Structure 1
């Protein structure tokens, strides 16, 4: 299994770009991140028969609202309506499909799932660019940034796939979906940004969720 993985997430990101154009990023990211984690958890528990322990399951349940809060949902000043909500929902479903399918890629498939992932990603970006009439050109000053970001994304996906071989899908997907914590912490540390109370609560609950998941 794993064939739907490549169009799933690529289409999810493609649609989320359109959602960003309709709504604020602080509104789009929480919807996509929570759906991308919640749906695979439900699939793994109710369809695949996974049974996390009590502590781990408590951590999973705690992590989902943590993702929402850390992403900044409900911050003061976010008064722009969710005109792109339908795009956000489709994007979240695409990300969920990616996580679920990648969790079932066989070890014998090697790096081919990643190769297919990136190939389809380029195809969708090209199609999106043609649709909106954008030039598909990377300025020289951004070339290296694009390369290392792409390499980091591919490496992260490979590590996620590897983690699902040693842990339950419901655990791996939730820990992977806590990624909004990293840019939030970096923004505070490097850019000296100030967090709103809901983000502080989200960070603390995310830390508690990780502890609950990993100690069992």
Structure 2
């Protein structure tokens, strides 16, 4: 039960982070959003790790670094997709892959959820898929342009989820700090390349930095809560629950940006609620 609560909080934080990043990526290049977001997330996780303490093993640091590579790939692909496609399309597609791959890994590692929780997990995957569907023909072009970004983002986040779970417990929060710091390298490299190829020399201001910084802080909260959830629950359950984050992204897109939710997406949101309830009961 505790793992479910932590995973749901992680999903809400991830979804909110994606929404804020998506809005910011429509106002500036996604690489600018990603680099400041990762810097902010690194500061938050390193500070939290220093406060919590702990002595990470070499293996924990290694898995954290692997997670950082996945996190960087997921973040860049997602932010690019959010910048050029519909928020309510790219985020859910990434969620399907981010949920399915770790669930399969968990089963391979020998995890066996209860029957009730298993039914919830089976419902969660189509729930995320339904949320990503669109009934409006005029959205076809945006949907097509976001498919590749969504899948790449999902693969990156799947690697992140599996790596942090494999880092183990008893090491404080250091694997999350390592993950965020390592993620800075490819993100910063892309930012420098983009900056060199464009004439955009806009300076950071409090106004322009607020969105990316908020996205980074929310992302740090999400990764910490996910990491803690893996200490109390199975990867199969925690990763799938966390991957329901598109529901929060879509809800914010609906009420803040007035993006229309189709009947299929609405059905997916309802199904997601049922899945969470079953997993909790199991």
User: Structure 2 length as normaliser, TM-score?
Assistant: 0.67
Separation in structure 2 between the aligned mates of residue 95 and residue 192 of structure 1, nearest angstrom: 27
- Which sections of structure 2, spanning at least 5 residues, go unmatched? 1-58
Does residue 164 in structure 1 map to residue 230 in structure 2? yes
Name 1:208's counterpart in structure 2.
274
Q: How far 1:19 moved relative to its partner?
A: 4.2
Separation in structure 1 between the aligned mates of residue 105 and residue 238 of structure 2, nearest angstrom: 13
Name 1:7's counterpart in structure 2.
69
Separation in structure 1 between the aligned mates of residue 88 and residue 213 of structure 2, nearest angstrom: 26
Separation in structure 2 between the aligned mates of residue 146 and residue 101 of structure 1, nearest angstrom: 25
Separation in structure 2 between the aligned mates of residue 136 and residue 65 of structure 1, nearest angstrom: 42
Does residue 178 in structure 1 map to residue 240 in structure 2? no
Kept after mapping to 2: 8 A contact 1:126/1:136:
no
- What do residues 109-145 of structure 1 show as CA deviations (whole Å, max 9, x unaligned)? 3232222222223222221122333558533213344
Separation in structure 2 between the aligned mates of residue 27 and residue 65 of structure 1, nearest angstrom: 14
Kept after mapping to 1: 8 A contact 2:134/2:262:
no
Higher helix share: 2
Q: How far 1:59 moved relative to its partner?
A: 0.6
Higher mean displacement: 126-135 or 184-193: 184-193
Name 1:54's counterpart in structure 2.
115
Higher mean displacement: 97-106 or 24-33: 24-33
Name 1:35's counterpart in structure 2.
97
SS of the equivalent of 2:144 reads coil
Separation in structure 2 between the aligned mates of residue 172 and residue 19 of structure 1, nearest angstrom: 25
Alignment of 1:1-216 (within 5 A): 1=59, 2-3=63-64, 4-20=66-82, 23-45=85-107, 47-70=108-131, 72-76=132-136, 77-80=138-141, 82-83=144-145, 85-133=147-195, 137-189=203-255, 194-216=260-282
Separation in structure 1 between the aligned mates of residue 258 and residue 81 of structure 2, nearest angstrom: 28
Separation in structure 2 between the aligned mates of residue 160 and residue 147 of structure 1, nearest angstrom: 20
User: Structure 1 length as normaliser, TM-score?
Assistant: 0.86
Kept after mapping to 1: 8 A contact 2:88/2:249:
no
Q: How many residues align?
A: 214
Kept after mapping to 1: 8 A contact 2:121/2:275:
yes
Kept after mapping to 2: 8 A contact 1:12/1:95:
yes
Separation in structure 1 between the aligned mates of residue 87 and residue 114 of structure 2, nearest angstrom: 35
Backbone CA RMSD of aligned residues: 2.5
SS of the equivalent of 2:71 reads helix
Label 1:131 to 1:197 Cα distance change in 2 as closer, same or farther (>3 A): same
